[in-house]
Structure 1
C-alpha cells in the first residue's frame, strides 16, 4: 500500500489515524487499518537511539548547599518587609509585617507585625 499521508511521528503513514501508545510488546497495530509496525517502529514514532547521561552532585556539594541555606536563613531572619514601627515590648524601631485578608472582601486587611529584635507579634485591622 502506498503512503498517501505525510509521515508524522505517532500517526499511521497509510490511513493517517493516531497510533496507540507504544508498549513493551515489540510493535504497534493501527486501530483503523490494522497495519502492524514491528521493524520500522522507530521510524513511525520518530524515535532514534538517544543516550542520556545523568550527573549527580557530590556529597561535599550537597553539604555546602545545606550550609549556605542555613547561613542565608540566619541572615534573612525577618519574616517580611521591614517598616519603622516601635515595638511595644522592647522599644525596637523596626518591625517586619505580613498582610492577610481574613475578614470579608469589603473590609480592610489584617496586618501582622513582628519585632525584628525580640520577635514580639501584634496585629492591626486596617
Structure 2
C-alpha cells in the first residue's frame, strides 16, 4: 500500500500506475516494485431457510397462505443482508408447508 506524497491519501491502481483519488497525483510503476491487487468476487449462494423438521416449536401467526388458503403459519427471522439492514421475516404454512418471505 502506498500513500500520496502530496496529500498523504491512499494511492489506487489506475492503468498500470498508481493514482491518488483525492488530489489526482499519478505515480508511474517502478520496475523493481511488485504491486499487489486484491480482486474480490461474490459467488451466488443458496440460503437454507430451515433444515429438516425444525419448524416444531416455532411461534405461529395469523397470515394467509397463497397456496392453500390456510390462515396459520410458523414464522422466524433471519439476517440475510448486511447487519445495518433489517432482518427478513419467513413464514411456513402449518398445513401445506409452503414457505415464503416478507421484507420490511
Of Structure 1 and Structure 2, the greater strand share is in: 2
Of Structure 1 and Structure 2, the greater helix share is in: 1
Instruction: Say whether the fold is shared (TM-score over 0.5).
Output: no
TM-score normalised to structure 1 length: 0.37
